[in-house]
Amino acid sequence: MGVAFYPVFEDGSGGCSEDINGKCLARAANVFDRPCKKAKVPTLYDFFSMSREQMVAELFDGDPGEPSNYNESQLPEEHWHEAALGLRTVQFLLEFVQANVDRIADHECVREDLVVFERQLSQAAAKGVRWHLAIET
């Protein structure tokens, strides 16, 4: 099955869709950490957050509808980020992929994922909608 990365937006849009594979980007993410840090650009992981329901299910093995399975006060807060900041990272990564095709497995699929992220983050930034990175396993 594998891990996949998706943008999720505060207005409820985004997430897993036919537009984005997400798996290629997830596999390449660790290659991006060092170049991002060197360029003083946030990494994709810096934008990661989970919804309350995901936290309950994944962190506490609980049912979000059954509060006796977990302690609500132990749930971290869901974090949202400005789309423009994520767009800066994605555009940097697009340039990096273009310049380093030999270092990135399945670089064309990674590029396609980043292009979708770029389009969706551009639209969100224009509307003032915040986002976070979702990681699906």
Neighbours of 94 (CB within 10 A): 16
Closest C-alpha among 48, 32, 51 to residue 89:
32
C-alpha to C-alpha distance for 109 and 88, rounded to whole angstroms: 20
pTM value > 0.95: no
Query: Would you give per-residue pLDDT tens digits along the chain (137 residues)?
Result: 589 999 999 998 765 556 788 999 999 999 999 999 999 999 999 999 988 777 776 666 656 566 666 666 777 788 999 999 999 999 999 999 999 999 999 999 999 999 999 999 999 999 999 999 999 88
Domain boundary assignment for the chain = 4-49+78-136
